[in-house]
């Protein structure tokens, strides 16, 4: 299995170039459903130890069904598929440029939740125009075991998020373990309270906000991903959900820029335009760097060829 690794603002992406499963024909959403239900071992072998770790996001490169797109892609983590992934889209664009498949300028990628457009600004810098993001619920308060009440918004940015405006803990690397434990308890509190996204969707990402450390940035965040890892980057889909909330609250005007800082200090530049359905069309700009090219070997005699699962 041929893969190319990169990181976007610190968050890793592993693009599968060759050797992925045969997902048949149909729309990308249909092929993504087959990947999740029929090829769990493949996904685990790509992102889990001993070849990966809990923060790695996989990106299976596929032929697009939309002729206007240069690539189709299915994103997945150590637990399930992702509808969209901002950092991995930036990583995929830089990877395709590294391979010589695309050059500077605008290109379209087909994802299971819709077509996204990217602008490859240079070898490392990419602006992603995401699908429409929106806020579903404002100021939902839940009880969190061992902490008490926590209030946040429920919003969609390509994945479902619960966004807490004021983090109960300082957003610094020394608190990453405590922040992970807290956000896991917040997610459990949402489940217990029956708070969901649209149509009962699981809210699998939790996002905490606080003051930025960089004077040039507008805020800092910590994001819990579905599998229990934290996002090293500011999280592209989480930033999209944040933009929907900022727009609805009248905090950020269309076209104005917002600099979002992650818990490790990396940043994305954000802006939005009004969407067709009352939400916002986010643009996320960040940098990615290719870190390795490799052939993954799945030896039939290796008891951990399909990954080490908790």
Active site residues: 85, 235
For 24, the enclosing helix (H) or strand (E) is none
Counting beta carbons within 10 angstroms of the beta carbon of residue 114, is it exposed (0 to 12), middle (13 to 18) or buried (19 or more)? Answer: middle
Rounded CA-CA distance 80/67 in Å is 27
Taking the C-alpha atoms of residue 44 and residue 48, their distance in angstroms, rounded to an integer, is 5
CA distances from 108 to 111, 115, 182 (A): 10, 7, 37
Question: Of 13, 33, 10, nearest to 23 (Cα)?
Answer: 33
CA 165 to CA 247: how far, in whole Å?
14
Indicate the helix (H) or strand (E) that contains 67: none
Beta pairing partners, 134: 156
Structure-token match 């405006």, residue found: 165
Q: How far apart are the first and last CA of the chain?
A: 24
Q: How far is CA 245 from the centre of its chain?
A: 18
CA 23 to chain centre: 23
Pairing of strands 267-274, 219-224: unpaired
CA–CA distance, 191 with 194 (Å, rounded to integer)? 5
How far apart are alpha carbons 80 and 8 in whole angstroms? Answer: 20
In angstroms, the CA 49 to CA 45 distance is: 8
């Amino acid at each position: 299995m041929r893969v190319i690794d990169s990181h976007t603002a610190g968050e890793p992406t592993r693009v599968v170039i060759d050797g992925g499963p045969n997902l048949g024909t149909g729309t990308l959403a249909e092929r993504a459903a087959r990947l999740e239900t029929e090829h769990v071992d493949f996904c685990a072998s790509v992102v889990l130890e001993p070849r990966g770790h809990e923060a790695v996001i996989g990106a299976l490169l596929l032929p697009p069904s939309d002729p206007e797109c240069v690539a189709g892609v299915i994103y997945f983590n150590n637990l399930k598929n992702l509808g969209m992934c901002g950092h991995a889209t930036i990583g995929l664009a830089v990877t395709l440029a590294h391979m010589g498949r695309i050059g500077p300028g605008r290109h379209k990628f087909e994802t299971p939740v819709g077509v996204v457009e990217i602008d490859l600004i240079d070898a490392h810098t990419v602006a992603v125009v995401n699908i429409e993001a929106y806020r579903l619920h404002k100021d939902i308060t839940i009880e969190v075991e061992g902490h008490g009440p926590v209030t946040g918004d429920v919003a969609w940015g390509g994945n479902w998020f619960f966004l807490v405006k004021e983090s109960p803990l300082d957003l610094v690397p020394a608190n990453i373990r405590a922040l992970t434990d807290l956000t896991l308890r917040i997610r459990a509190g949402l489940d217990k309270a029956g708070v969901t996204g649209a149509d009962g969707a699981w809210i699998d990402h939790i996002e905490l906000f606080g003051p930025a450390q960089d004077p040039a940035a507008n805020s800092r965040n910590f994001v819990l991903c579905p599998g229990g890892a934290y996002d090293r980057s500011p999280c592209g889909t989480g930033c999209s959900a944040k933009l929907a909330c900022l727009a609805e609250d009248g905090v950020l005007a269309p076209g104005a820029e917002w600099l979002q800082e992650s818990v490790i200090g990396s940043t994305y530049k954000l802006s939005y335009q009004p969407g067709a359905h009352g939400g916002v069309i986010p643009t996320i700009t960040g940098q990615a760097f290719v870190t390795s090219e490799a052939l993954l070997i799945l030896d039939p005699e290796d008891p951990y060829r399909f990954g080490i699962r908790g």
